[in-house]
Structure 1
Amino acid sequence: MVVKEKPWFQHYPEPTPRQLDYPNHPLPFFLEQAAREFPEREAAFFMGKRLSYRQLLEDVYRMANALDTLGVQKGERVAIMLANSPQAVVAYYAVLFLGGIVVQTNPMYKEQELEHQLVDAEAETIICLDLVYKRVANVRPRTSLKRVIVTSIKDYLPFPKNWLYPFKLKKDGIQLDVPYGSDEVYAFSDLNKKALPTPMECRVESMEEVALLQYTGGTTGLAKGAMLTHRNIVVNVVQCEAWMHKGKKGEEKVLGIVPFFHVYGMTTVMNYAVYLAATMILLPRFNVEDTLKTIAKERPTLFPGAPTMYVALINHSDIGKYDLSSIKACLSGSAPLPLVVQERFEKLSGGRLVEGYGLTETSPVTHVNPIWEKRKNGSIGLPWPDTDCRVVDPETREELEPGGVGELEIKGPQVMKGYWRREEETSKSMRDGWFRSGDIGTMDDEGYFYIMDRQKDLIIAGGFNIYPREVEEVLYDHPSVQEAAVIGVPDPYRGETVKAFVVPKKGKELTKEELDQYCREKLANYKIPRLYELREELPKTTVGKVLKRVLQDEEKNKSSQEG
């Protein structure tokens, strides 16, 4: 196939081709390959527990055989409601070996969110933490769940941590009441002990079979299940490896803080690490102190993260005490990366931190700045191999010339099959292979792309288009600002006006008047926030994306109460 010349090709890293060859194997093949080529290579480190690739594959086989015995069928949706842990990896690959469909479920979900996802996916099995079992039990009667498999953090802790764990729960006032052995409630650890590690041939007949129902973040409304096929995910992993061309098989260590139940963590940490036979350094949640200690001790070479993580790390009061020099490369995703954060983290670590872009519907990565070659500040970078992109007029859908601002559309082998049982929404978002991102962006004449903002976040004040990201970048440059989020709020005269929510750095004094003066020196008059609110923290998703919908809902509630 002849590849049409694109402006971004001239800036590709030299070893990265425009087109790639993708293996015609289902996703679990990568795990078998890693265990065959590097059997004693450390696959996972988890709170002192170390697991080789041989051991990991054996545990996956055990769980796959156990699920098979319990009656889990090919094509069945299996919800996995786990934090980053060996269990999360084992459960994920075990379901895929059976030809099942993984439904990644956020352990932070409230009952209403959990019920919606389980009902929508028609999941018949869930694998969850004992800490969330009560929520699962409460919604179970209103779902299709037949069986519940429960695991505990202690199941993969080393001695004596596994022995002390129940005492810690008791000390923290946490009581667990899981009725193992009744009503098809099973203990994950018992199933693994009783099952044999008999190799299982992956029951996937076509790479176009759905591997994952990945629900959209719900930051803009009711979550939908994106159907990601084995080919979608395999492609994105191979694309990742081609872009990270300095990564060496069997030698890298990947810091696993981004949750695996989020598509970003699933691809850039779990699946990529397995493909590379790298060590996954697993942390069940992001804590600044724990993260810094782990980096200094375990020496990760790769650190996929979110801007808020890097913000928290560089602002830690004792950051200078920790050695971050093992980090070679960081991919920042899920939200815009402020330039000041990028520069500060690179200075501290000596590694490269670049911004990328992706969506749940694209497995997720479509763009990343070159890591060791030419990058552009504020840009999401270049489209990955085999990925075509264009900026179109939101109304006419006509492609715009470089510099034009419109909606970003994406075409490539990592684009989803469609939304689960939502044909109408699928047809609205996909046309002739092009996926409508809903993001407003532009491309420069060298093929670097820029995201101005979500189309839904665009502020129109007095007829002017205002992109919140531009205002947020200015606020982040203020020496006393740690985090900032900008939204549009109703205004009787301008239609909308700009409001900024700001989190000051610890120990820094900051006033609304100071912020206003600062913005007046940096922004055109119509872009200046008319309202400021200082906060201790901002509402976020588990991967650090600010939930602007929550801020907008709060403003609406204020307006209705005042009215």
Structure 2
Amino acid sequence: MDNKVWLKSYSDGVRPSIDYPDLSLGGLLDQTVAKAPGNVAMIFAGREITYAQFGLQVNLFANALASLGVKKGDRIGLMGPNCPQWEIAYFALLKLGAIVVQTNPMYMERELAYQMKDAGATGIIVMDALYPRVKAVKGETDLQFVITFSFQGQPVQDEGVYDFNTLIGQAAPNPPQVEINPEEDIAVLQYTGGTTGVSKGVMLTHRNLIVNSYQTIEWSPGLEYGQERVLTILPVFHVYGMTNCVNYAVAVAATQIILPRFEVEEVLETIKRYQPTFFPGAPAMYIAINNHPRAAEYADSLATIKHCISGSAPLPLEVAQQFKKLTKGQVDIAEGYGLSEASPVTHCNPIDRPSRPGSIGLPFPDTECVIMDLETGTKPLPPGEIGELCIRGPQVMKGYWNQPEETAIALRNGWLYTGDIAKMDEDGYFYIVDRKKDMILASGFNIYPRDIEEVLYEHPKVKEAVVAGIPDPKRGDTVKAYIVLHPGQEGTEEEFIAYCRTKLAAYKVPRFVEFRDELPRTAVGKILRRQLIAEEKAKMEASAANSEE
């Protein structure tokens, strides 16, 4: 594809194509440890860990895992919040050629069991507070061992359970040397609903993830090797946090300032104390900072951040403008775009100028994009016309784990079909017109209605159920369930919300429940989810109009 019109809009110093190191992710860490052993790799709870210390801990834990029988190709779950133990386990597994099964720590038993079974995971490394969920489903899975870690407290005492610190304390620092082919060998299974809403493991190779880190580096001229500080507040079990915080930081010998959760007061104090230079975030984070009652007191600290990136959900223009005003005109938030199937980043606005309103920016180096017609999916469209965004580049996944049919739908003729409806302007900037058909984007989380509907259909009172994302000024979308009860049954909103809390991660639980006698359907019986969303928007507009009178 020769007509890369976006290249004319690139920042000075950003090359359209770059050379990537032929390394595994474990090799990338070894390279940084050798180059910058004394650099601080991470700061967590006030404690500093140098790259030399980090590298040693990774080697010790890799040897401990090998002694438990972990070998190349094994799938091992990793379940916990942002913390040094998570990152040590991540790189140790990768060094052995094992495949990291990214496991959301908010998963409840049902979701956890599905993922472990689908991946064929033989072990899991989990924070101790989450262990009861693992224990509850272990018998349904192929899990042969569990390793627990904690921030404090006593080791978990249970059959088949090992303690993280004890294993490291007993290990030697010379793990087996495993030959890894970065181009072919899978590093991570990143679970996503993909373009169809069925949960699938995205196979990301070592090269996919190395490439995306170096594309991010190329996009950020002005950042210096060994001199940067990354605010790691995005969840690292999510591909966005894994790539833009963990892998990126290791690639440039940066210091990660790690926080296990987003609490706006703590984040502002952390920024003031440690002065990060790179802040990959999500719109909900920037909204919370903007709306903090004492945000102005932190203006000088916020203004020292070199680059703020926003992804995972559309960034409202007013949020970016308010943040720039808060930072006294010093910081523009650069909005980007990505998806798990692309490691994840494919587009970003240039960071040397304000983002173009409503745009996800320009394709990354070595990334080709085309808008295909919606009718056939084979006809490239000219600037300004709306179709499906299709991508190809070295960061695009190998495919979906054990799902060749789904892989064939997403990867066609060398292109990744994103399922997102988009357009491109004359300058090569891309715009998402509509999200994947049914997916709900709430506070940056991808929520697939089918996950919630399946839980609702298991309730004995439920005859029919459908879930939709309705507009929410703070979360972007919020989850609403529409339920038809069996004849003679009664139920309350509170009852069903409480029921869902026992079955689903907190961010998936419906915030609203509406009971109906019937659901709107097409002539062939398909529930009209979009009609329900349109009804909600009409109600909100009417309410807003009435309040203005």
Partner SS, residue 303 of structure 2: coil
TM-aligned CA deviation for residue 17 of structure 1: 1.2
**Counterpart check, 1:288 vs 2:264:** yes
How big is each residue's C-alpha offset from its partner over 1:383-437, in whole Å with a ceiling of 9 and x where there is no partner? 0111110111122111111000111111111110000000001101110110110
Partner SS, residue 31 of structure 1: helix
Distance in 2 (alpha carbons) for counterparts of 1:225 and 1:327: 35
Aligned to 1:335: 313
Q: Which letter maps to 1:359?
A: L
Q: CA-atom RMSD, angstroms?
A: 2.6
Cα pair distance change 1:144/1:318, threshold 3 Å? same
How big is each residue's C-alpha offset from its partner over 1:416-469, in whole Å with a ceiling of 9 and x where there is no partner? 0000000001101110110110111100011000001214159xxxxxxxxx99
Partner SS, residue 22 of structure 1: coil
Distance in 1 (alpha carbons) for counterparts of 2:518 and 2:238: 36
Of 205, 210, 216, the match for 2:192: 216
Aligned to 2:498: none
Aligned length: 463
Aligned to 1:92: 90
Partner SS, residue 148 of structure 1: strand
Aligned to 2:367: 387
Partner SS, residue 456 of structure 1: coil
Aligned 8 A contact 2:239 2:340 in 1: yes
Q: Which runs of 5+ in 2 are unaligned?
A: 450-467, 476-505, 521-549
Cα pair distance change 1:48/1:219, threshold 3 Å? farther
Identity between Structure 1 and Structure 2 (%): 47
**Counterpart check, 1:409 vs 2:390:** yes
Partner SS, residue 303 of structure 1: strand
Counterparts of residues 130-141 of structure 1 (less than 5 Å): 130-141=128-139
Cα pair distance change 1:97/1:562, threshold 3 Å? closer
Aligned 8 A contact 2:149 2:163 in 1: yes
Aligned to 1:453: 434
Distance in 2 (alpha carbons) for counterparts of 1:35 and 1:455: 41
Aligned to 1:120: 118
Q: Which letter maps to 2:234?
A: V
Of 299, 305, 315, the match for 2:281: 305
**Counterpart check, 1:319 vs 2:295:** yes
Partner SS, residue 351 of structure 1: coil
Q: Which letter maps to 2:131?
A: Y
Distance in 2 (alpha carbons) for counterparts of 1:294 and 1:104: 27
Aligned 8 A contact 2:264 2:289 in 1: yes
Partner SS, residue 389 of structure 2: strand
Cα pair distance change 1:455/1:261, threshold 3 Å? closer
Partner SS, residue 371 of structure 2: strand
TM-score (norm 2): 0.80
Counterparts of residues 239-278 of structure 1 (less than 5 Å): 239-278=215-254
Distance in 2 (alpha carbons) for counterparts of 1:191 and 1:401: 58
Distance in 2 (alpha carbons) for counterparts of 1:177 and 1:558: 47
Q: Which letter maps to 1:439?
A: D
Distance in 2 (alpha carbons) for counterparts of 1:179 and 1:550: 32
TM-aligned CA deviation for residue 324 of structure 1: 1.6
Counterparts of residues 69-80 of structure 1 (less than 5 Å): 69-80=67-78
Aligned 8 A contact 1:367 1:382 in 2: yes
Aligned to 2:100: 102
Counterparts of residues 140-539 of structure 1 (less than 5 Å): 140-154=138-152, 166=153, 178-180=156-158, 183-198=159-174, 200-216=176-192, 221-322=197-298, 323-349=301-327, 350-373=330-353, 375-397=355-377, 398-457=379-438, 500-502=471-473
TM-aligned CA deviation for residue 122 of structure 1: 0.5
Aligned 8 A contact 1:26 1:202 in 2: no
Distance in 2 (alpha carbons) for counterparts of 1:320 and 1:503: 21
Aligned 8 A contact 2:320 2:333 in 1: yes
TM-aligned CA deviation for residue 559 of structure 1: 2.8
Aligned to 2:516: 559
Cα pair distance change 1:455/1:78, threshold 3 Å? closer
**Counterpart check, 1:60 vs 2:58:** yes
Aligned 8 A contact 1:124 1:144 in 2: yes
Aligned to 2:46: 48
Q: Which letter maps to 1:340?
A: E
Partner SS, residue 390 of structure 1: strand
Cα pair distance change 1:199/1:40, threshold 3 Å? farther
Cα pair distance change 1:214/1:562, threshold 3 Å? closer
Q: Which runs of 5+ in 1 are unaligned?
A: 155-165, 167-175, 459-467, 473-484, 488-496, 505-545
Distance in 2 (alpha carbons) for counterparts of 1:229 and 1:144: 24
